[in-house]
Amino acid sequence: MKIIDGKSTSLEIQQELYEEVLQIKENGSKVPHLAAVLVGNDGASQTYVNAKVKACERVGFESSLIQLETSITEKDLLNEIQKLNDNKDVDGFIVQLPLPKHIDESKVTLAISPKKDVDGFHPQNVGRMNLGLPTYLPATPNGVMELLKRYEIETSGKNCVVVGRSNIVGSPMSILMSKKDNPGNATVTLVHSRTKDVKSITKQADILIVALGVPEFITADMVKDGAVVIDVGIHRVDDLSAKRGFRLKGDVKFDEVAPKCSFITPVPGGVGPMTIASLLMNTLKAVKNIYE
């Protein structure tokens, strides 16, 4: 069993980006600029955004943070998004989710220019992904693909089961794994809350990618020997014995599943850090005008 270290892989990618940015600066070309919009003061969202800003600094990108009150109207938020669309200095930007309940997230997603949508959520970018055209891939699925590639995990002809069908992870993950590419070329099954006898399907997986959002849903009896297990979930679970009063757990019951695996991602330190690396990769793509 081998642990897939997303933290070290993310830092490896960031070093590669740093070296490319140095070359960009030497050539006198434009340095990538990533902006982040944060609405409200949700602690987890603040932590995620801060990590993204620090990563930008680490690789030499320019970054800016637009913090807005929770009470901002949908109209005013859309106006802020349009300002970023029109700002030629900003190459890509994200609007941190979740948003307050009075704001329609789908309207916000549609308002972001596809050329600056480095999260890869805009329908135009999703469509380009489906067609194999140059685009910004959703950060978390792309992070998983980078891990599979860099750990030289064979995917061609393998049975891949994706657990969860969200637009952010599960659905794009199933598309990327079935693409005629490397990694890719897998035979993909997507299971979800309405799937009957999930266990019988997951036990057939050579590669099991879990993005369900249920703590420790996958147990040892649901995984076949030698499987590759990618755990996308992350949850704060109360634990008074822990120093911080909680522990971070994934969608996979790691301690009992890990011994059966050939490769497995831990939580934390697995897929999470790769999401930020992918976001930076997309921002570098943005400054290169991949649409043109």
Q: Which of 14, 91, 96, 253 is catalytic?
A: 96
Q: 221 catalytic, yes or no?
A: no
Q: Is 180 helix (H, G, I), strand (E, B) or coil?
A: coil
Kindly give the pairing relationship between strand 207-210 and strand 2-3: unpaired
Ramachandran assignment for 104, one of left (phi > 0), alpha (psi -120 to 50 degrees), beta (any other): beta
Cβ neighbours, 10 Å, residue 184: 18
Rounded-to-integer distance, Cα 74 and Cα 65, Å? 19
Q: Which of 115, 116, 117, 119 is catalytic?
A: 119
For tokens 């055209």, the residue is: 133
* Strand boundaries in the chain, DSSP class E: 2-3, 33-39, 62-68, 92-95, 159-163, 187-191, 207-210, 227-231, 235-238, 246-249, 261-264
Burial class (CB in 10 A: 0-12, 13-18, 19+), 74: middle
Q: 89 catalytic, yes or no?
A: no
Q: 158 catalytic, yes or no?
A: no
- What residues act catalytically? 52, 96, 119
